Amino acid sequence: MKNNKGFAGVGILIAIIVVLALGGAYYLGKHSSTSILPFGDIEKSNPVKELQNDIKNVPAGYQKAKIINLTGVDGCGYEIELSNGQRLEPTNLSSEFKKDSLPVLIKYKEKSVNSVCMIGKGIELTDIKIDSDVINLPVSILKLTTQDTGKSFTVAKGQTIIIKVGNPEDLGYQNTLQYNSSILQLINKTNDTSMVPAGSNGNFGYEIYTFKTLTNGTSNLNVIATNGQGKTMDMFSSTIVVQ
């Protein structure tokens, strides 16, 4: 009798294990498209679906690309790099697009060229435009200093730009601004002496200029210091592209 009870107990245990195994297999089968993590079920990314979504944002016939500045390479200039990493040598890239890392959408046809650069095949652009899906990322304030001199910046309409430059009055100079007032609006100017040591003479700190972009277009933004004898110093210069 004891043996029968023992066999019955083993049988029940085996039955429980089988039920649990079948239940686990059913659960895994039902959730095979998810990863089980400590904080719940996180849906796996689908690279194919993400690529399809990305393609939907590209107008028919265009390819996503960016401008690359290779002027430091022998025989090269401003070239084009497609989203897949392929590089192209355009024969007719206009100056308004010669800005490093500028995101663009392009149409082109291959064109045989005698290239010294030889980083990619030669092409003739049939159409090119700025990729607004990339450049209109939400950036509320663009802060610039003298370290940004010579650079080009692409911003959105209505964006705030702040420039911080040294105040040269200790040298007998005063800063003046040069910009297109139909594209940029100066909304504030302040003097920052917070970093000037107490009791320090002849140190006027920094001047801070705050601009707001008004409409689409391109404007140079320069700060030039001038003294009483008409001598000048370039304090800051950049190109602002509003899209």
pLDDT tens digits along 84-104: 999 999 999 988 888 888 889
CATH for 74: 2.40.50.500
Q: In DSSP terms, which residues pair with 239 in a beta bridge? A: 152, 220
Residue 192 CA to its chain's centroid (Å): 30
Q: Above 50 in pLDDT, residue 32?
A: no
Question: Taking residues 32-40, what's their average pLDDT?
Answer: 36
Name the amino acid, one letter, at 52. Q
Q: Is residue 22 part of a domain?
A: no
Whether 151 and 119 share a structural domain: no
Structural domains in the chain (count)? 2
Residue 203: give the domain boundaries. 136-242
What ranges make up the beta strands (E) of 58-134? Answer: 63-69, 78-82, 87-90, 103-110, 121-130
Global pTM reads 0.45
Whether 144 and 221 share a structural domain: yes
**CB atoms near residue 212 (< 10 Å):** 14
Whether 168 and 202 share a structural domain: yes
Cα separation, 210 vs 208, whole angstroms: 7
pLDDT tens digits along 125-161: 999 988 876 655 444 688 899 899 999 988 888 889 9
Give the chain's mean pLDDT.
Answer: 78
Question: Taking residues 176-182, what's their average pLDDT?
Answer: 95
Whether 142 and 206 share a structural domain: yes
**Torsion angle defined by CA atoms of residues 69, 243, 85 and 91, in that order, rounded to the nearest 10 degrees:** -60
Cα separation, 113 vs 124, whole angstroms: 10
